[in-house]
Structure 1
């Protein structure tokens, strides 16, 4: 009998506490990155991990919290480095990315590029690759290309492809 009363009392306390929490309605908050246009234009789902990492770092960088920030300057040039690549980004004094110049070496190629090269150059192996990205705010285009060195025995050739694998 005592157990039933204590369980009933505990259940009442539990449900009365839950109803107090469920009555709070929080306002909707939307968070967007300041450089979402850069990320949307420059990054891709097939990009290698170092590429995505540096691009996200550049997009998340806050110029205003930098030691070098002064309101008098119009542009800030910030470099980001990893062993696999580097990004030079130009920011305005509000922290918006104006343009970037990116270079990555020996990254994993997207499947589309690898397949296109293998079909066009059978029996050739990729010995070196460089991925270049050029972004400019407002231009509507992002330059993405792969510079590849192919080798077949003693023969070597250099080719350039875009991100769809089309030989340029």
Structure 2
């Protein structure tokens, strides 16, 4: 019985050693794939990586929107611009596309989103003791042109009242 167990262990080890030395190798070759995004100018301009999650979500929807598979392009190919609205309860993006599917300009508005650190720090520094009750974030983008990001903040303090202030993306008061 003892010899049988030793023999089975020996067989088990030798078969696992030979199983690791497989000489059957396969080479797989893939065709070259070209990956591109027509809206990289828009993404680079607005700097969406630092944005709030809700903003990122809608920006990604606008960037990945394909006019070719929508009814816009099929309805009227003579048009030069196509207006598409992306909307969620906290905000919206009105994007204007050209015939190639590139974003020409946008108008964006979001409410009650998380503020960037630069904006929060500027508010705390200048308005210590104040509470932000509401915020509106607006972005206007024009291809090869202007980019404007502003935060309209509604702040309040118990004995003083309410104020409305505007701040840019870097925390500079407007």
What's the RMSD between the two structures over aligned residues? 2.1
Q: Which moved more, 1:33-42 or 1:80-89?
A: 33-42
1:151 partner SS? strand
Answer yes or no: is 1:16 the counterpart of 2:20. Answer: no
Structure 1's consecutive aligned runs of 4 or more residues displaced over 6 angstroms after TM superposition are none
| Structure number, greater radius of gyration | 2
TM-score (norm 2): 0.84
State the Cα deviation string for residues 46-88 of structure 1 (Å, max 9, x = none).
3111101001100000011101213211110000001110000
Q: 2:134 aligns with which of 128, 133, 136?
A: 128
Q: Residues 150, 26 of structure 1: CA spacing in aligned structure 2 closer, same or farther, 3 A cutoff?
A: same
Question: For 1:68, what is the secondary structure of its paired residue?
Answer: helix
For residue 119 of structure 1, what is the aligned residue in structure 2? Answer: 125
- Is residue 99 from structure 1 mapped to residue 123 from structure 2 by the alignment? no
Paired residue total: 162
Distance 1:117 1:9, change over 3 A: closer
TM-score by length of 1: 0.87
> Any gaps of 5 or more consecutive residues in structure 2?
1-6
Q: Distance in 2 between matches of 1:46 and 1:8?
A: 52
Q: Is the 1:43–1:55 contact (alpha carbons within 8 Å) kept by the matching residues of 2?
A: no
Cα separation, 2, equivalents of 1:160 and 1:52? 22
In the alignment, what sits opposite 1:162? 168
**Which one is further off, 34-43 or 89-98?**
34-43
Determine the C-alpha separation between the residues in 2 that align with 1:156 and 1:135.
Answer: 31
**Structure 1 unaligned spans of 5+:** none
